[in-house]
Structure 1
Amino acid sequence: MGGTEHLTVQREGATLVLTLNRPEAKNALSLPLLVGLYDGWLEADADDRIRSIVLTGAGGDFCAGMDLKALAGGSMDGDRYRDRMKADPDLHWKAMLRHHRPRKPVIAAVEGYCVAGGTEILQGTDIRIAGESATFGLFEVKRGLFPIGGSTVRLPRQIPRTHALEMLLTGRPYSAAEAAAIGLVGRVVPDGGALDAALEVAEQINACGPLAVEAVKASVYDTAELTETEGLESELERGWPVFATADAKEGAKAFAEKRPPVYRRA
């Protein structure tokens, strides 16, 4: 199991929990954090025993984005990871889910600050649960910066354009209630409850057929930019093979026998 000094990895049954672990800096992005995060995505996809991923932050915050103090000083923590960046100059974008999409469902459990790069990473997750005091926002324009983690492309596709542009152009903070109202997050829970709620959702996913789950997720994203006709054709191409799997037969058999199914990714 991987991890770095700024990213912890833990198994909870069939769920891999990735925790941004730099609480003294509100989990601001660092090289150790980014390397650990990307390695976590790869670990989840490589291990068929893992059926879902939960992404959260330590110390009561999700992620405050880039470490601006380090950026202003021309350096970031983690010199010993620079060889990873040289070997893969795209690593940080993959870590932030800009240039990588895990095949397993990713559930975000958000408490506290989830701003700038934190809100950008959030847009790469599949299901999002927030504590009621969580704060969201894209503050880049207030610092004379550009939200280059994908927000000018993704955000208007995930929430109504008027809300996306207000968030992008004002740089103002959004409460969890506002984030839920515009569709940026799916559910708001009492403070401190986001991780437990995310793990509950993960358990529900883990109880389903993994081949079916992964095919459904892939279909949703792969057909997003297609016409309806093209999308429906693509759905059949991806969906019909699932019916021929042993897992599909097991699901029907378990239902008939009134027992939990035992899926084997076959």
Structure 2
Amino acid sequence: MGGTEHLTVQREGATLVLTLNRPEAKNALSLPMLVGLYDGWVEADEDDTVRSVVLTGAGGAFCAGMDLKALSGKGMEGQQYRDRLKADPDLHWKAMLRHHRPRKPVIAAVEGHCVAGGTEILQGTDIRVAGESATFGLFEVKRGLFPIGGSTVRLQRQIPRTHALEMLLTGRPYTADEAARIGLIGHVVPDGTALERALAIAEQINACGPLAVEAVKASVYETAEMTEADALKSELERGWPIFDTADAKEGARAFAEKRPPVYRRA
């Protein structure tokens, strides 16, 4: 199991928990954090015993975005991390889920600040839970910057365009309730319980057939920009093979026998 000084990795049953761990800086992005994140996504993809991923932050914050000192060339400590980035110049975009989509469901558990790059990473997750005092927003324009982590593309596809443009162009903060109202997040829970709720959702996913879960997620994203006719064709191509799996037969058998199914990814 991987991890770095700014990113911890833990297992909770079949769920891999990735924790942004730089609380003194509200978990602002650093090179060690980005390398750890990327390695965490790879671990989740490659380990068939992992059925879901929860992404959260330590110390009552999710992520305050890019460390501006790091952006100016300072604070990118660790030669081993610089070597990793040099070997794969796209690594930071994969870490932020801009150029990588994990095949397992990713649930965000947000407390406190989730702004700028934090809101950009959030858009790469599948299910989102936030504490009631959480704060969201894309502050880049207020600093004369551009939200280049994917927000000008993704946000308008995830929430109504009028809300996307307001968030992008004003750079103002959004409360958790407002973020839920416009559809950026799915659940608002009491402060300090976002991780608990995210893990509960993960457990529900983990109880389902893993091949079916991964195929459903893939189909949703693959068909998002297709015409309805092409999307329905693609859905059949993804879906029909699932019915021929041993897991599908086990699901039906377990239902008939009134017992929990035992899925084997087969």
User: Structure 2 CA distance, aligned partners of 1:79 and 1:115?
Assistant: 28
Distance 1:71 1:104 in 2: 31
CA distance in 2, matches of 1:73, 1:158: 33
Q: Which runs of 5+ in 1 are unaligned?
A: none
CA shift digits 1:74-112 (9 cap, x unpaired): 452333310000100000000000000000000000000
Q: TM-score, normalised by structure 2?
A: 0.99
- Paired residue for 2:121? 121
| Number of corresponding residues | 266
Question: Shift of the alpha carbon at 1:73?
Answer: 5.3
Tell me the residue number matched to 1:201: 201
In the TM superposition, 1:169-180 aligns within 5 A as: 169-180=169-180
Root-mean-square deviation (Å) = 0.8
- Preserved CA contact (<8 Å) 1:155 1:164: yes
Letter of the structure 1 residue corresponding to residue 216 of structure 2: V
1:135 matched to which residue of 2?
Answer: 135
Say whether the 8 Å CA contact 1:26–1:64 is kept in structure 2.
yes
Contact 1:129-1:186 within 8 A present in 2 as well: yes
What does residue 60 of structure 2 align with?
A: 60
C-alpha distance in 2 between matches for 1:4 and 1:186:
30
Shift of 1:191: 0.2
Query: Which residue is equivalent to 2:160?
Result: 160
Displacement after TM superposition at 1:142 (Å): 0.2
Distance in 1, matches of 2:73 and 2:32, equals 18
Distance 1:70 1:226 in 2: 39
The C-alpha deviation readout for 1:155-203, integer Å capped at 9, x for no partner, is: 0000000000000000000000000000000010000010000000000
The within-5 A match list for 1:14-33 is: 14-33=14-33
Distance 1:211 1:71 in 2: 40
Q: 1:85 aligns to what?
A: 85
**What displacement does 1:71 show?**
2.3
Amino acid corresponding to residue 5 of structure 2 in structure 1: E
Taking the aligned partners of 1:144 and 1:206, their CA distance within structure 2 comes to: 43
- Tell me, yes or no, if the aligned pair for 1:98 and 1:149 is still in contact at 8 Å: yes
User: 8 Å contact 1:30–1:78 — kept in the other structure?
Assistant: no
TM-score, structure 1 normalization: 0.99
Cα separation, 2, equivalents of 1:109 and 1:238: 29
1:8 Cα deviation from its structure 2 partner: 0.2
Q: SS at 1:80's partner residue?
A: helix
Alpha-carbon deviation of 1:72? 3.4
Matches for 1:1-266 after TM superposition, within 5 Å: 1-72=1-72, 74-266=74-266
Cα distance in 2 for partners of 1:244, 1:142 equals: 53
- List per-residue Cα deviations over 1:190-225 (Å, max 9, x = no partner): 000100000000000000000000000000000001
Q: Secondary structure at the match of 2:146?
A: coil
Distance 1:75 1:193 in 2: 32
Q: Displaced runs of 4+ in structure 1, greater than 4 A?
A: none
The separation in 2 between residues aligned to 1:72 and 1:82, in whole angstroms, is: 15
Gaps of 5+ in 2: none
Shift of residue 68 of structure 1? Answer: 1.1
Which one-letter code corresponds to 2:196 in the other structure?
A: D
SS at match of 1:48: coil
For 2:172 and 2:78, locate their aligned partners in 1 and report how far apart those are by CA, in whole Å.
31
